[in-house]
């Protein structure tokens, strides 16, 4: 194996779009990257994805390791042909370990039909009382035993269905104060705190034979006094994860184009430092210049002796074994959701619905009168994240969900960050209605949504507020307001909340 091949075996890169260009092929040829990560921008449906993968592998004359982020809930890259399950916090709340196993099994079958080898999930970060802006509902909860049980059950389900899993984000960032996509966080937890709370799910996942573990970007100064991000920390990756914890699988970095890394050093240097820390698989997910720079820097580092060749060869061999684990690109038949998957998703969502806030006012009688529904314009998010078609048709979904209970609401659709005019219109609707249902999108993060909540609370006669993402907005609800959450905004979750609201 040449140095160029060794480096390429360890690179996982992304494509710019849903159709293959000559430039895309040249990047893979020049970097010799053996891994492909798929995002929403690459997915226009099962048939187009099959064409994309087949064309790329045919042009390269070799099999790639194809991965995607398919956590469920908020983080889903490939929509059509799969079942969108509730977020992990809903699963942890539902309280049934067998559900997690079946989810893993179903999603494995669905993803293998699409040609996916590796799911970059589940998220095994443990929540704490400290607010986490990028984990939240991606976590199974605050109890490391719950996170371990459900995470491992899902990993085992994926393995049963023929899909490799990647546990993330070691050594745990459920209490990170910043979003590493944007800035470099610092986590001040002691080794004792990390071992007691954040490490157990990863230990359980490794004991269960998880194929890969993804590390995290934050600085952990009490774990590595050098003050470098965990991605660059030999102490955390090579010495602790590979050495002391004896993990024999593939150690993957998080995306090296994230803000947490780019504010630290250029991409080439970041790739070298990530390899030196002990990672096997290096993710450079978005731009061709960054992908090329990473490959060039790694080749130069091995040629100069800055990176030891023997370690690089061992890392490349671990990735190669994972890449060649399956002979077929696809298996299990034509792409399609598993028949029993949607009922399972609905069962999880239904069991996860939780009453929050200070009061549980009975709306049943008021719902027989004039009902106003204020609902966010999810279609505005569709260019950035996967939004189910039913939810992107906001008025249609509201009419159908409430109509099944014999309710014909007056619906006002507002922006994800509502305007002053939309807020005023919502308050006016609430004042005129016997009952108002407000679907609220992160008022603790967006001032406009907090203003929307306050305006509606001030005017509504009877009010129910549905929290659509993290449950932190519960603290903002006024006494006498009924708060509900299903820990996410997927269709199955919204259906479950409306069913609870209309059929208590």
CATH code of the domain in which 225 resides: 3.20.20.300
* pLDDT, mean of residues 224-248: 95
d(CA 224, CA 234): 9
317 and 359, same domain (yes or no)? no
Is residue 187 in a domain?
yes
* pLDDT, mean of residues 145-172: 97
244 and 388, same domain (yes or no)? no
Contact status, residue 210 vs residue 165, Cβ threshold 8 Å: yes
d(CA 71, CA 188): 27
Is residue 347 in a domain?
no
Supply the range of the domain harboring residue 368. 353-502
Residue 132 has a pLDDT of 80
7 and 121, same domain (yes or no)? yes
155 and 215, same domain (yes or no)? yes
Is the confidence at residue 359, as pLDDT, over 80? no
Of 218-222, 225-229, 426-430, 475-479, highest mean pLDDT: 426-430
395 and 466, same domain (yes or no)? yes
Contact status, residue 186 vs residue 218, Cβ threshold 8 Å: yes
**Residues 123-153: pLDDT tens digits?**
999 999 887 878 999 999 999 999 999 999 9
149 and 187, same domain (yes or no)? yes
Is the pTM higher than 0.85?
Answer: yes
Element (H, E) at 371: strand 371-376
Residue 14 has a pLDDT of 96
Is residue 471 in a domain?
yes
Contact status, residue 294 vs residue 268, Cβ threshold 8 Å: yes
Provide, rounded to the nearest whole percent, the portion of the chain with pLDDT above 70. 98
Least confidently predicted of 78-92, 257-271, 392-406: 257-271
Q: φ and ψ at 354, to 5 degrees?
A: -130, 135
CATH of the domain at 403: 3.40.50.1700
Residue 131 has a pLDDT of 79
Q: What are the DSSP E strand ranges found in 28-174?
A: 35-38, 65-68, 70-72, 75-76, 118-119, 164-170
| Local structure of 298: helix, strand or coil | helix
318 and 381, same domain (yes or no)? no
220 and 86, same domain (yes or no)? yes
Residue 181 has a pLDDT of 63
Query: DSSP character for 418?
Result: -
Is the confidence at residue 179, as pLDDT, over 80? no
Is residue 344 in a domain?
no
Select from 323, 343, 371 the last residue of a domain.
323
d(CA 184, CA 217): 7
Torsion-angle region of 480 (φ positive above 0: left; ψ -120 to 50: alpha; else: beta)? left
Is residue 272 in a domain?
yes
Residue 363 has a pLDDT of 80
Token couple for 93? 């709340």
Residue 496 has a pLDDT of 97
The contacts of residue 406 (CB under 8 Å, 6+ apart) are none
When divided into structural domains, the chain yields a total of 2
- Mean of the per-residue pLDDT values of the chain: 94
Confidence of residue 60 (pLDDT cuts 50, 70, 90): very high
d(CA 86, CA 494): 10
Nearest partner of 411 among 377, 374, 463, 380, judged by Cα: 374
Residue 177 has a pLDDT of 66
Provide, rounded to the nearest whole percent, the portion of the chain with pLDDT above 90. 85
Q: Catalytic residue numbers?
A: 181, 254
| Local structure of 215: helix, strand or coil | strand
Confidence of residue 180 (pLDDT cuts 50, 70, 90): low
359 and 265, same domain (yes or no)? no
Is residue 144 in a domain?
yes
Residue 414 has a pLDDT of 97
* pLDDT, mean of residues 351-368: 82
Token couple for 426? 């919502």
The contacts of residue 500 (CB under 8 Å, 6+ apart) are 350, 353, 484
Nearest partner of 427 among 399, 455, 465, judged by Cα: 455
Beta bridge partners of 49: none
**Residues 435-481: pLDDT tens digits?**
999 999 999 989 999 999 999 999 999 999 999 988 889 999 999 89
Select from 323, 340, 373 the last residue of a domain.
323
* pLDDT, mean of residues 273-281: 97
Is residue 479 in a domain?
yes
**Residues 279-301: pLDDT tens digits?**
999 999 999 999 999 999 999 99
Residue 504 has a pLDDT of 65
123 and 270, same domain (yes or no)? yes
Token couple for 30? 């020049």
Token couple for 171? 């050594």
Select from 302, 323, 344 the last residue of a domain.
323
81 and 7, same domain (yes or no)? yes
296 and 358, same domain (yes or no)? no
Residue 79 has a pLDDT of 86
Is residue 185 in a domain?
yes
d(CA 307, CA 480): 63
Residue 259 has a pLDDT of 80
Confidence of residue 21 (pLDDT cuts 50, 70, 90): very high
Least confidently predicted of 1-15, 86-100, 255-269, 383-397: 255-269
Contact status, residue 74 vs residue 385, Cβ threshold 8 Å: yes
């Amino acid at each position: 194996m040449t140095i160029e091949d060794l480096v390429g075996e360890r690179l996982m890169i992304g494509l710019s779009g849903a159709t293959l260009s000559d430039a895309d092929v040249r990047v893979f040829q020049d970097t010799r990257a053996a891994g492909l990560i798929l995002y929403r921008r690459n997915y226009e449906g099962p048939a187009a994805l099959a064409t994309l993968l087949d064309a790329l592998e045919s042009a390269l004359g070799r099999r790639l390791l194809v991965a995607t982020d398919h956590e469920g809930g908020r983080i889903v890259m490939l929509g059509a042909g799969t079942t969108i399950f509730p977020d992990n916090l809903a699963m942890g709340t539902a309280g049934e370990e067998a559900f997690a196993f079946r989810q893993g099994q179903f999603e494995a079958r669905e993803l293998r039909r699409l040609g996916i080898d590796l799911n970059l999930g589940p998220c095994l970060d443990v929540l704490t009382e400290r607010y986490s802006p990028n984990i939240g509902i991606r976590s199974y909860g605050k109890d490391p035993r719950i996170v371990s049980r459900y995470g491992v059950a899902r990993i085992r389900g994926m393995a049963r269905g023929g899909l490799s899993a990647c546990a993330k984000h070691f050594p745990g960032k459920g209490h990170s104060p910043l979003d590493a996509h944007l800035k470099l966080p610092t986590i001040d937890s002691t080794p004792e705190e990390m071992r007691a709370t954040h490490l157990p799910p990863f230990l359980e996942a490794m004991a269960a034979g998880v194929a890969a573990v993804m590390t995290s970007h934050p600085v952990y100064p009490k774990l590595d006094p050098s003050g470098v991000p965990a991605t660059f920390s030999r102490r955390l990756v090579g010495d602790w994860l590979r050495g002391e914890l004896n993990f024999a699988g593939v150690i993957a970095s998080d995306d090296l184009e994230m803000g947490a890394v780019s504010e630290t050093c250029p991409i080439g240097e970041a790739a070298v430092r990530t390899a030196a820390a002990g990672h096997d698989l290096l993710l450079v997910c978005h731009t061709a210049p960054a992908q090329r720079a990473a490959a060039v820097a790694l080749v130069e580092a091995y040629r100069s002796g800055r990176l030891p060749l023997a370690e690089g060869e061992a890392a490349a061999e671990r990735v190669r074994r994972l890449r060649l684990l399956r002979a077929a690109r696809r298996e299990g038949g034509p792409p399609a959701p598993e028949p029993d998957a949607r009922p399972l998703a609905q069962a999880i969502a239904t069991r996860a619905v939780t009453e929050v806030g200070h009061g549980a006012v009975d709306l049943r009688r008021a719902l027989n009168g004039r009902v106003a529904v204020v609902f966010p314009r999810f279609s505005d998010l569709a260019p950035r994240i996967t939004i189910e078609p039913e939810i992107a048709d906001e008025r249609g979904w509201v009419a159908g969900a409430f109509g099944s209970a014999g309710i014909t609401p007056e619906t006002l659709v507002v922006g994800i960050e509502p305007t002053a005019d939309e807020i005023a219109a919502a308050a006016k609707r609430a004042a005129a209605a016997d009952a108002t249902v407000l679907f609220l999108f992160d008022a603790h993060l967006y001032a406009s949504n907090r203003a929307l909540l306050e305006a509606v609370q001030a005017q509504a006669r009877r009010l129910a507020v549905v929290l659509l993402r993290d449950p932190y907005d519960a603290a903002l609800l006024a006494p006498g307001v009924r708060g509900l959450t299903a820990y996410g905004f997927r269709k199955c979750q919204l259906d479950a909340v409306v069913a609870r609201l209309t059929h208590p």
